[in-house]
Amino acid sequence: MTHESSENIIINREPSNELENNWRQYLSFSTDHKVIGVQYMVTTFIFFLIGGLLAMLIRAELITPPSNVVDRPLYNGLFTLHGTIMIFLWIIPFNAGISNYLVPLMVGARDMAFPLLNAISFWMIPPSGILLISSFLLPNGTAQSGWWSYPPISLQIPPGQPINGEFIWIVSIVLIGISSIMGAVNFVTTIFWMRAPGMTFFRMPVFVWSVLSAQLLQLVNLPSLTGALILLLFDLSLGTQFFKPLENGDPIIYQHLFWFYSHPAVYIMALPAFGIFAEVLPAFSRNPLFGYRSLAIASLGIAIVSIFVWVHHMFTSATPSWMRMLFMVTSMLVAVPTGVKAFGWTATIWKSKLHLETPMLFAMGGAAMFLLGGVTGVMLAAVPFDIHVHNTYFIVGHFHYIVFNTITMAIFAAIYFWFPKITGRMYAEGWGKIHFWLTFIGANLTFFPMLPLGLQGMVRRISSYEPRYQGWNIVASLGGFLLGVSILPFIANMVGSCLYGQRASNNPWLATGLEWQTTSPPPRDNFEEIPVVKRPPYDYGDPKYSVIEPPDYHQQENHSR
């Protein structure tokens, strides 16, 4: 991929500068979806750093068999908050942020459907996050029962402590959930109602399809977590008995309600990542996306099947055999639409000349790592295997291959890919590549050892373990520290390029998406005039489009395939 020569790069359209120079708006209450998107992304990145710091403390504890770095309650608090922050304050809201930035641009809208609601959704995130993290300051420390907060463990609070870590945990997760629901209403309405003329459903980019599927899942499944947490809160503070086994309550019902959301939550996190692959891979292999329609429908397919798989988290929770069999089959079914996706990505880059820029490296790395994450997922869907490795590091390894090696890599791909669009400047390619290789090596060093550790029987959620597990643990810990270091070139690159980077053209990757047809960064209302869409979204490889001139959505009349 060539960056255009420096004469062509400087595009001085007035509207873009207006947005770029006014940095104060990023600190203020704005209703512009682009400002809100950036606010989301920067805020959640700070939470990502905090979550990563907690993870490094955990790895520091686990480098030696005895528990000597932190004490037990603090260790419990560390892994509880690490999981909670990474899921509820990093990946899910970051996806909301990047979707916020891109979806209106991609569908040709001037803004989201409800801009004020959009701003409110964002401004609920920072206070909830600060509230959650501030629970470290409580005398009894933060919540200690893991990010799933199973009763009766989560209800074991010393009496006479009405405001405890668990209480704060529930309140902040409910607040973040309300913010997500409002966001989901906004996204779904935007995608249904705000599309530009001619933007039919099958002319939407796969990223928009993925966001639509993920946000529909938020709407259908997230309320069940909210409901469960409200009941848990009442059990904790008002003396109700829903989940207290000693008083006739039933903690298994909590597990059902919790996983009814929290399994699909994995797809809420992963679907936008799949969408990012579908945008980045075609752009850097100059090929049309293979099987566009099947990939679009597969997004919805993953969403629908994933609603019916939650019991596979409860194979060891006294679940009757017929239910185990049923949910084993549905869980394995998820592999079908997911396989369609992976096949589509592979076929897109098949026999093409790859341009290995940083976004492409991250996308390919993420998609490749998804192979291992996905295959271990199918293994875990099988009841006998799941019972064998239940509650071991195998689960931790599998989960992190999905959420870090696939989704977070996709997020980095997205950041690099759309960085010129968002800031109007190019990032430094060399630093980007250093970041990629450090991340890729670090992530595999960290999370691969967890798979053999789990097979050998090392249990999770423990701060001290048998000495025979130490070898792999040292590898994992060193990998974890490397992963921590890998974030430094990224931060330096982002901040430096934002301030001093080379000016980017409107379409540096010569991509075909609608978001590249406006200025970088886009003006307040996105487009000078609303485009009329007349062709499908991926026209790479067509000699007409693969040369210098980017395709023009306004002019091209007879080019629909």
DSSP 8-class letter at 4: P
Total length of the chain: 561
Instruction: Output the smallest distance, CB 355 to another protein, in A.
Output: 32
Structure tokens at 68: 């000597």
Q: Does 227 bind another protein (CB under 8 A)?
A: yes
Member of 248, 321, 555, 558 binding another protein (CB under 8 A): 248
Q: Is residue 232 within the footprint of another protein (CB under 8 A)?
A: no
- Half-sphere exposure for 186 (CA within 13 Å, toward CB): 27
Q: How far apart are CA 145 and CA 73, in angstroms?
A: 10
Instruction: Estimate to the nearest angstrom the gap between the alpha carbon of 65 and the chain centroid.
Output: 32
Q: Which of 533, 535, 532 is nearest to 558 (CA)?
A: 535
> If binding is defined by CB under 8 A, does position 212 make contact with another protein?
no
| Smallest separation (angstroms) from another protein to the CB of 542 | 23
The two structure tokens encoding residue 4? 């255009």
CB of 308 to another protein, least distance (A): 15
By CB under 8 A, which span of 61-69, 235-243, 275-283, 448-456 interacts with another protein? 235-243
234 binds another protein (CB under 8 A): yes
Number of amino acids touching another protein (CB under 8 A): 48
CB of 242 to another protein, least distance (A): 6
d(CA 285, CA 541): 9
222 binds another protein (CB under 8 A): yes
Contact region for another protein (CB under 8 A) — 3-11, 159-167, 249-257, 506-514? 249-257
- Taking CA atoms, 215 is separated from 76, 212, 222, 233, 296, in Å, by 31, 5, 10, 26, 15
Nearer to another protein, 103 or 395 (CB): 103
Candidates 151-159, 251-259, 395-403, 434-442 — which segment interacts with another protein by CB under 8 A? 251-259
Candidates 200, 316, 391, 464: give the one binding another protein (CB under 8 A): 200
Under rule CB under 8 A, residue 219 binds another protein: yes
Single out the residue of 133, 199, 33 nearest to residue 533, CA to CA. 199
Is 109 one of the binding residues for another protein (CB under 8 A)? yes
Q: Which range touches another protein (CB under 8 A), out of 47-55, 85-93, 189-197, 343-351?
A: 189-197
Contact pick of 31, 64, 140, 189 for another protein (by CB under 8 A): 189
Does position 533 interact with another protein (CB under 8 A)? The reply is yes
Min CB(200)–another protein separation in Å = 5
- Options 78, 120, 257, 265; binder of another protein; rule CB under 8 A: 257
Is 205 or 373 the residue whose CB approaches another protein more closely?
205
* Closest distance to another protein from the beta carbon of 310 (Å): 12
Amino acid of residue 285: S
| 240 is a contact residue toward another protein (CB under 8 A) | yes
CA distance 67 to 58: 11
249 binds another protein (CB under 8 A): yes
CB of 223 to another protein, least distance (A): 4
Distance CA 186, CA 182 (A): 6
Q: Cβ closer to another protein: 196 or 409?
A: 196
In terms of Cα–Cα distance, which of 432, 422, 413 is closest to 493?
432
Residue of 87, 228, 273, 383 interacting with another protein (CB under 8 A): 228
Report how far residue 461's alpha carbon sits from residue 459's, in angstroms, rounded to the nearest whole number.
7
Binder among 194, 382, 478, 482 for another protein (CB under 8 A): 194
Specify the long-range contacts of residues 57-60, CB closer than 8 Å, at least 24 apart: 58/82, 59/446, 59/476, 59/477, 59/480, 59/481, 60/477
Please report, in angstroms and rounded to a whole number, the separation of the first and last CA atoms in the chain. 25
Q: b/e for 95-120, b at 16 or more Cβ within 10 A?
A: bbbbbbbbbbbbbbbbbbbbbeebbb
Q: Pull the structure tokens for residue 213.
A: 């599927």
Of 503 and 534, CB closest to another protein: 534
* Spatial distance between the Cα atoms of 550 and 519, rounded to a whole number of angstroms: 13
Cβ 9 vs Cβ 504: under 8 Å: yes
- At 459 the three-state DSSP class reads strand
- Segment interacting with another protein, rule: CB under 8 A, options 217-225, 284-292, 418-426, 479-487: 217-225
Q: Which residue lies nearer to another protein by CB, 61 or 111?
A: 111
Question: Would you tell me which residues interact with another protein (CB under 8 A)?
Answer: 107-110, 113-114, 181, 184-186, 188-189, 192-201, 219-224, 226-228, 230-231, 234, 238-242, 247-250, 253, 256-257, 260, 533
